[in-house]
Amino acid sequence: MNNLEHIKCNLCGAEDEKLLFNTATVRVVRCRRCGLTYINPRPPMENILTTFVYSGIGSEQNYDKINISKDKIYRSALKKISSRLPIADYRLPRLLDIGCSNGYFLQLARSRGFDVYGVEPSKLAVSLARKSLGTQNDSLGRDRVFEGTLKQANFPSEYFDVITLWDMFEQVSDPSGEIDEIKRILKPGGLILIRVRNMSFHLIVYRFQKYIGFLVTSPAIMHLYGFTPVTLKKMLIKAGFRGICMRDSPLTKGDPYMQSKTTVWLMDILKKMLFVLCKIVYLVTLRRIILTPSLFAYARKK
Ligand SMILES: [Zn+2]
């Protein structure tokens, strides 16, 4: 590939990497200093945005399929968020979902009493989200769903009570910059919830992929970055967040990303077995080792 750019570690700034593995298209490395996993070198950001991000996930049906598979996870996270919020006395709590897709999570949040806002780069997803949320403007007098990136949205400082990032943080070009911007627009005491793919799990899968390759088309999921509970926590600490809580995440239902080579019902059973196994490891190690394919981080701005 031409035009590749070589990057420093986004978490600690070092240029001290170790090659983990090569796939057909990318080289995956781990920082020797802090442990962050990332693709290096990588295509320039404008190519990545055009190829993957702006185009979204293809069709309205794909968005629906993903929403159905994550519905329970969304509802349970909203309950947790509501229970951790300070009681707002004069207005609805403001919630921003970054990478809000077709707005399904925002609809659920609104039904639980949040004043909802979204940021989304994909044109198709933005139009679907605006349709589902209606045309009423937000308190800044603009569309509830901003088309573009978080920095382009340029929200006022200390504006939101809650900010959520569902399975997208590993896809941004500069996670450290993103988290600094989130901190700026979050109120003091405000909450952040991040769900990412768990690199601890995906590295194990990668090592054993020759044994399980008959089950899934692409065993190791790798985006621009791969976070483990340790590296995600380090990133939140570096940005000045407090009360950081790392949690295992329930698995999505079915096969929303169409990776299975087997039937959906068999995949569901295997996923349930995997979840039970990960839960046992999590509890036996007193919640120190999180091996579920995805993980949650909750944190609070000081
Ligand atoms: Zn590093």
CATH of the domain at 74: 3.40.50.150
Cα(257) to ligand 1 centroid in Å equals: 30
Domain assignment present for residue 252? The answer is yes
The pLDDT tens digits for 255-268 are: 666 666 667 778 78
Cα(17) to ligand 1 centroid in Å equals: 8
Domain assignment present for residue 13? The answer is no
Domain assignment present for residue 212? The answer is yes
pLDDT at residue 115 is higher than 70: yes
The Cα 253–Cα 272 span in angstroms is 9
Domain assignment present for residue 153? The answer is yes
The Cα 115–Cα 92 span in angstroms is 6
The pLDDT tens digits for 195-252 are: 999 998 888 877 777 776 666 666 555 789 999 999 999 999 999 999 999 998 888 7
Name the residue range of residue 148's domain: 45-301
Cα(159) to ligand 1 centroid in Å equals: 31
Domain assignment present for residue 204? The answer is yes
Number of independent structural domains in the chain: 1
The Cα 220–Cα 125 span in angstroms is 26
| Contact between 129 and 103 (Cβ < 8 Å) | yes
**Residue holding tokens 């976070």?**
227
Cα(238) to ligand 1 centroid in Å equals: 12
Amino acid at site 40: N
pTM score of the predicted model: 0.89
Cα(172) to ligand 1 centroid in Å equals: 17
Cα(11) to ligand 1 centroid in Å equals: 5
The Cα 73–Cα 98 span in angstroms is 17
Cα(7) to ligand 1 centroid in Å equals: 11
Domain assignment present for residue 17? The answer is no
Cα(126) to ligand 1 centroid in Å equals: 34
| Contact between 194 and 175 (Cβ < 8 Å) | no
For residues 267-273, average pLDDT: 82
Find, among 284, 289, 283, 299, the residue nearest to 80 by Cα: 299
Domain assignment present for residue 20? The answer is no
The pLDDT tens digits for 63-114 are: 888 888 899 999 999 999 998 886 666 788 999 999 999 999 999 999 999 9
Cα(56) to ligand 1 centroid in Å equals: 29
Domain assignment present for residue 24? The answer is no
